[in-house]
Amino acid sequence: MSEPELITEGNLSVQAARYAPYFLSVINNRLSWGASQVYLQLFDIGLNEWRILSALRNEPGIQALRVGEMVAMNKSVVSRSTRRLEEMGHVVAKLDRTKRLLWLSRSGAELHDKIFSIALQRETALLDGFDAAELDTLFAMLERMRANLAKVDAVDRGMTGRELLPE
């Protein structure tokens, strides 16, 4: 049996220093992992539950589908995380005709406010050294990238022939 040929030529793939998805992924992974560890240790909830608390603090009385849209989270993850928050007494679901609407309880709002303070401290550390004009530029660029996700989705659809958005 012959040995497989080893490919020894390098530098033929993504160059991280000029590949935006690399930076976005590394930053997101570090922030998400760190936040999840802090929130789990201090409050016994993870990042998914925090995102739901945040969505409900911004738009009380919404459906789980809207929560998923707000935080770009899969339906099953929203459902599982919401159920956990309900079991903990932080979220209350009320039936309004045929809609199941979600609200924060008093303990949910208090928990949100504690975590929100930590989230802002972490953001401040992340953005240290940026002046106001740089922050305006950064957020404008991030918003433009977010808007361009529809174009990325179109590229994906063109290659696969189907929609690949989170359910």
Decide if 107 is inside a domain.
yes
Question: Domain span at residue 42?
Answer: 17-123
Decide if 28 is inside a domain.
yes
Position 165 pLDDT exceeds 70: no
In the chain, DSSP finds a helix count (H) and a strand count (E) of: 6, 2
Position 167 pLDDT exceeds 80: no
- CATH classification of the domain holding 109: 1.10.10.10
Decide if 165 is inside a domain.
no
Decide if 31 is inside a domain.
yes
Decide if 155 is inside a domain.
no
Query: In 3-state terms, what secondary structure has residue 51?
Result: helix
pTM: 0.86
Q: How many Cα neighbours within 13 Å face the side chain of 79?
A: 5
How many separate domains does the chain show?
A: 1
